[in-house]
Amino acid sequence: MCDSKDYIVLAEEAPVRISWCKHCKTYSLVFGTSYLSLTKQGLSNFKEVLEELKGKNFCYDHFGVNKALLRNNRSSAGIYLSKKEVSSLLEVIEQGTTLKEVYHVLYQ
């Protein structure tokens, strides 16, 4: 397990935060109470899934808000996301990956 000093917060816009672990070379994406640890390719794949969501995917009524359900093949119940939440995630992922590249150029 990595020490907190290994993490660099790249971007944050409540309730989304993306960090980079210098030790294990992975991204940590926190969205509310959900946590994802992703490789560079995994983050790219997740971003692609978010970008491909269409209006028809937002078909689950969750307390009066239409949301899309993202599920994995594991036992996880999944994550419900509104269009606004998807937009926030994409924005923070874009900011975070850009700042990670700047960090890499400056400090590597």
DSSP assignment, residue 55?
A: G
**CA–CA separation, 31 and 41 (whole Å):** 19
* Structure tokens belonging to residue 64: 């009066």
Residues in the chain: 108
Q: Give the closest residue to 96 by CA, choosing from 62, 54, 46.
A: 46
Binned at pLDDT 50, 70 and 90, residue 105 comes out as confident
pLDDT of residue 97: 94
* Selected residue with higher pLDDT from 89 and 4: 89
Q: How many domains does the chain have?
A: 1
Range of the domain at 71: 4-107
Q: How does pLDDT run across 67-98, given as a tens digit for each residue? A: 999 987 765 778 899 999 999 999 999 999 99
- pLDDT for the residue 33: 86
User: Residue 86, Cβ neighbours under 10 Å: how many?
Assistant: 19
Q: Rounded to two decimals, what is the model's pTM?
A: 0.87
- Which tokens sit at 23? 């030790």
